[in-house]
Amino acid sequence: MVVAGADVGTECVKAIVATGDGKVVGRAVVPTRGYFQDCFQEAMSNALGEAQAQVSDLRSLVVTGFGASCAAMATQTTTETLCHARGAFHHLQKPMTLVDIGGRDPRVVRVDERGAVLSVKSVRKCAVGIGTFLMFTSRHLDVHPTRLMDLATTAGKPARVGSYCSVFAEVEVIELLRSGATAGEIALGAMYSVADRIMEMDRLEGPVMISGGVCEYFPGVVKALGERSGCPVEIIPEPIMAGALGAALYALDSARGG
């Protein structure tokens, strides 16, 4: 018997297939381009392929994320907060302040010693898109997003990037370049801007754990967050899969009759 959890995000779809005794046997990450349904199907088939299982073997499928409603075959949909908290707690088994930085909606989640969510604070609707914001910045600096981090490490200090709004990013990048900032300083500045944004959401108290895709591709954000908050900040194992893992664990509960 296998179960699956999927996190249909704005930048990527993540899928995890696990066996009945909780062992992860299949993983997939597929960029979200165009139709959510197609990307979801692709991620599921990749993960099932790795697990050498069929859709018909699935006892339960829990889907979370922005595009969760696109997954017609889901047994259940659950919020991102619960899934990320569950996924992170599964790794750590201790109370924490979890900061999920994904493509669209960053959130600060406090989790207690039993893994229960104590509070969740998210950013106000406007100026969302933290991961998206970094993708925009890469495009305007004319580098592939995977190279943005390399670019940032060439800089000694960050440029002051004020806007967090993806739409204003373009104008700001042009203005900064014109005033003499290097691409590296702007790249680094963008990451500090993201960290500042997170600090506006909630007070951070250590230990601070990070999940979501941004920390994997842009570790500069994690370093900036540590500096700005003065707290010890760590990345959880497989941060981008946290939501999908949590969803898979909920699927396991459901299959076991919980």
Partner 1 sequence: MRIVVLGAGALGGLIGARLAEAGQDVTLLEANVARARLLSDEGLYLSEADKGEHQVRLKVVTSLDGLPPSDLVFVAVKSYQTEGAVRAALPVVGEKTWILSTQNGIGNVESIRKVIDTPRILTGITFHSIQHTGPNRMRYRTGIKPIQMAPVDGVITDEVRAIGEMFNAAGLRAEVVPRVDDVVWQKLAHNAVVNPVSALTGMSCSELLEDPDAQAFMRALCLEIAGVMKARGTALEDEADPYAPIVRSQKALAKNRPSMWQDLVRGFRTEIDAMNGGIVDEAERLGMKAPLNWAIVQLVHSRERQAGRRLEKSAETMAQVKVAQGDTPLKPLGRGRFGGMPSGRVPLESAPRLKEIIHGYYADLAEAGRDSSRHVAWCSGLGPVEIVRAMGYTPYFPENNAALIGASRLAGRYISKALADGFSPFAQSEMTSDIGAMLAGESPLASIHGLASIPRPEVLVYSTNLGRYISRWFEYYANRMKAPLLGLHPPAGLDAMEKIEVDCGVQQMLRMIGRLEKLSDRALDQDVLASVVERSARAARLWSEILDLACHTPSPLTYFDTLIHVAPILLMRGTEEAVQYYEILLSELKQRVAAKVAAVPGERMRVYWEGPPIWCALRPLASLFLDQGIAVVASTYGHNYAFEALSPENPIESMAHVYTAIYENRSREFKVRFLAREFERYGVEAAVFHDARTSPEHSGVRHGMHVRLQRDTGVPAIVIEGDTHDLRLVSIDHIRSQLQEFLELRRSAPGRYNGARDALTH
> Does 79 interact with partner 1 (rule: CB under 8 A)?
yes
**Interface pick for partner 1 out of 21, 34, 56, 125 (rule CB under 8 A):** 125
Which ranges constitute the DSSP H helices of the chain?
36-51, 80-92, 130-140, 148-153, 166-178, 183-199, 214-217, 219-229, 242-255
**Interface pick for partner 1 out of 126, 156, 180, 258 (rule CB under 8 A):** 126
Cα-Cα-Cα-Cα dihedral sign, residues 47, 49, 53, 54:
positive
Choose one: 20-28, 110-118, 219-227, 241-249; the region binding partner 1 (CB under 8 A).
110-118
> Does 178 interact with partner 1 (rule: CB under 8 A)?
no
> Does 144 interact with partner 1 (rule: CB under 8 A)?
no
Ramachandran quadrant class, 45 (left: phi over 0; alpha: psi -120 to 50; beta: rest) = alpha
> Does 163 interact with partner 1 (rule: CB under 8 A)?
no
Q: How far is the CB of 224 from partner 1 (least distance, A)?
A: 26
> Does 73 interact with partner 1 (rule: CB under 8 A)?
no
- 119's enclosing H/E stretch is strand 117-122
Q: How far is the CB of 117 from partner 1 (least distance, A)?
A: 6
Q: Torsion over CA of 223, 64, 246 and 215, rounded to 10 degrees?
A: -10
What residues line the site for partner 1 (CB under 8 A)? 78-79, 81-82, 116-118, 120, 124-126
